[in-house]
Structure 1
Amino acid sequence: MSVIDPRRGYLLGLTAYVLWGLFPLYFKLLQTIPAIEIVAQRVLWSALLGLVLLQFWKHPCWWRELLAQPRMLVALALCGTLLAANWLIYVWAVNDGRMVEASLGYYISPLINVLLGLVVLRERLRRLQWLAVALAALGVLQQIWQVDGVPWVALSLAGCFGVYGLIHKQTSVAVLPGLVVETWLLLPVALGWLWLHPSAATLVPDFWQTGTAWLLAASGAVTLVPLMCFNMAARHLPYATLGFLQYIAPTLVLLLAVWFYDEPFDPAQLAAFSCIWAGLLVYSVDTWLNLRRTHQRSG
């Protein structure tokens, strides 16, 4: 049994969320390549690197357990589809100058999870959770009213990630094998897309003699390293503590969008984000109070 080390857990958790928050810097370097092509290559390189990492996995018979449960393969195929959709929307949003809206999606993601728990798992919400969800809804409505349209990038990212997490919550597959299986199930689709587009930028022989090619080949490590840091952090920290750290990533994305890439952030957007931030504050306070009550009862 491994020793719990909170300091190591915080370091790994911070590493994961900071890396996720800095993803736009990486994808901006690839913006000459269409988003769907980046995702196809990301699936390919993630599948290859994942296969290598699984050779060092401590439970070599994990695949037998998976084959014994065909329903789990269906669940992982659905997870892979949601993951690919999330990647595609996010990469497109970053390279289309919509990082502010992408950050909004990951701010509302925890509250989408609460809502999914209510609707799908029939969980009962506490009063402060209701207030947090209401404030988030007010922020989204503010966005709709101000821009005269639904913030579909934010809602799609939050929805895909929320349902992805919900399905994973119902499965018993470990994170690394689960992600590798998801990418391998997506591999035929990615290879099929590349085969149907022989003139794609990444299939031109000269492309693989450029620095951009090496960056693209690194997409497997870019995908798996923060996930592995997160997975290891979860062994040393309560999941709720990791929940508080998750706000680091969208905050970094928002700061990069406004201060580094000069995306507009007008008072109307500030008002909408303020509602979301207020909802997250209420959600965080409720989580802290609930953890405190649980600790007092167990003590």
Structure 2
Amino acid sequence: MKTTKYYIAAITAYTIWGFFSLVLKPIHEYASLDILFFRVFSCSILMLLIVFAFKRKKVQETIKNFRALSASGKRKTIFLNIGGSFFLMSNWFTFIYVMNHVSVKATSLAYLVCPILTTLLAYFILHEKLKKTQWLAVGLSISGCLLLSYADIMDMFFSIIIGLTYASYLVSQRVNKGFDTFIVLTFHITLAALFLLPFYPVYSGSVPTEFTFYFCIEMIAVFFTIIPLFLNLYALSGINSSTVGMLLNINPMIAFILANVVYKEKISPLQILAYSIIFMAVLVFNSHHLFAMRQKRILSAKN
């Protein structure tokens, strides 16, 4: 299957993100803005160093490709990349705030709502076609989220905000093609860093001195930002944003388990039922690909 590598990239990215709380919770006493500042600045510096050290030719190719675009194409590219940077930065801040000041379950719910929002945005904006089984999966996801919102309506409120920002990022980057993925991601994060830089002296707290803070920030920057975001953008280059969005459910399912097992957050039977329904929705949504892979294995065995 030509798309299998894109599925693997998306699954890997969202599996990594599922364990995000393990490095974010140890620094929960720091202000959300401080974590955001250091995360973005650290990512930007690391990625710029990589670009200037190893990707100079790709930068030249990117500039050449941009100059070759028509005037409308240039405007569209600029809009998509500035918008992508804004959506990414907004998602990070709201995620960190809710994770550290509301609950881990709320962030988990956010990335259950996000696939629904992504699918709907992709359908209405990008006109991506969905099979009947995929619409059934969307319906299952909605029912699961409604069950979870019944347990805590405020979690749902914060979840929609987080989910909408990332859904907007996924949909916008689905049509942002023709450029090196790493260069595009570097632009998004560096633009976010430049936007945040004037606010740092005013809104930042005292400079952290603990080793734990900087260790967690670098872990977040490399393993929970640069690598999964790169894999995410790579996946979007080969499969629909609605499919990538639905695979995002892997993230909150892992976070849900961690909330119960590691952080001892109370989990109700209703929540277990809801997550089970959403897990079924992921399988149903991707059943066509799973079936195709099974058929390919059967044919390979016969041959």
TM exceeds 0.5?
yes
| Secondary structure at the counterpart of residue 27 of structure 2 | coil
TM-score, normalized by length of structure 2?
0.78
Distance of aligned partners of 1:147 and 1:115 in 2 relative to their CA distance in 1, 3 Å threshold: same
Aligned residues: 282
Q: 1:73-112 maps to which residues of 2 (within 5 A)?
A: 73-96=78-101, 98-112=103-117
* 1:21 and 2:3 are equivalent in the alignment: no
Which whole-Å CA distance do the structure 1 matches of 2:11 and 2:147 have between them?
31
1:290: how far off?
A: 7.2
Deviation track 1:1-55 (CA, whole Å, cap 9, x = no partner) reads: xxx9x89x95x76654443222111111221211122112211111111101112
1:187: how far off?
A: 2.0
Distance of aligned partners of 1:117 and 1:138 in 2 relative to their CA distance in 1, 3 Å threshold: same
Equivalent of 1:47 in 44, 47, 58: 44
Percent identity over the alignment is 22
Aligned partner of 1:194 in structure 2 is: 200
Aligned partner of 1:72 in structure 2 is: 77
Listed as ranges, the gaps of 5+ residues in structure 1 are: 295-299
Listed as ranges, the gaps of 5+ residues in structure 2 are: 297-303
Does the aligned pair in 2 maintain the 1:20–1:249 contact within 8 Å? yes
Equivalent of 1:253 in 249, 252, 255: 255
Does the aligned pair in 2 maintain the 1:66–1:73 contact within 8 Å? no
Which letter does structure 1 place at the counterpart of 2:65?
E
Deviation track 1:107-143 (CA, whole Å, cap 9, x = no partner) reads: 3433433222222123343211221111222223223
1:151: how far off?
A: 0.3
1:254: how far off?
A: 1.3
Which whole-Å CA distance do the structure 2 matches of 1:220 and 1:63 have between them?
26
Deviation track 1:238-275 (CA, whole Å, cap 9, x = no partner) reads: 75898887554323211111100011211232233233
* 1:162 and 2:167 are equivalent in the alignment: yes
Aligned partner of 1:37 in structure 2 is: 34
1:148: how far off?
A: 4.4
* 1:113 and 2:114 are equivalent in the alignment: no
Q: 1:133-282 maps to which residues of 2 (within 5 A)?
A: 133-149=138-154, 151-172=156-177, 173-197=179-203, 200-202=205-207, 207-208=208-209, 210-222=211-223, 223-228=225-230, 239=239, 246-282=248-284
Deviation track 1:160-216 (CA, whole Å, cap 9, x = no partner) reads: 222111111111233211111112222232111212136x133xxxx3464423433
Which letter does structure 1 place at the counterpart of 2:124?
V
Deviation track 1:93-120 (CA, whole Å, cap 9, x = no partner) reads: 2223522232233234334332222221
Which letter does structure 2 place at the counterpart of 1:79?
G
Which letter does structure 2 place at the counterpart of 1:220?
A
Distance of aligned partners of 1:141 and 1:20 in 2 relative to their CA distance in 1, 3 Å threshold: closer
Distance of aligned partners of 1:290 and 1:117 in 2 relative to their CA distance in 1, 3 Å threshold: farther
Aligned partner of 1:297 in structure 2 is: none
Distance of aligned partners of 1:165 and 1:15 in 2 relative to their CA distance in 1, 3 Å threshold: closer
Which letter does structure 2 place at the counterpart of 1:212?
F
Does the aligned pair in 1 maintain the 2:173–2:233 contact within 8 Å? no
Which letter does structure 2 place at the counterpart of 1:78?
G
Which whole-Å CA distance do the structure 1 matches of 2:106 and 2:183 have between them?
31
1:231: how far off?
A: 6.3
Which whole-Å CA distance do the structure 2 matches of 1:101 and 1:257 have between them?
10
Dislocated runs of 4+, deviation >6 Å = 240-245, 290-294
Distance of aligned partners of 1:138 and 1:71 in 2 relative to their CA distance in 1, 3 Å threshold: same
The answer to which of 208-217 and 137-146 deviates more is 208-217
Distance of aligned partners of 1:290 and 1:109 in 2 relative to their CA distance in 1, 3 Å threshold: farther
Which whole-Å CA distance do the structure 2 matches of 1:150 and 1:23 have between them?
18
Which letter does structure 2 place at the counterpart of 1:282?
V
Distance of aligned partners of 1:159 and 1:242 in 2 relative to their CA distance in 1, 3 Å threshold: closer
CA-atom RMSD in angstroms:
3.5
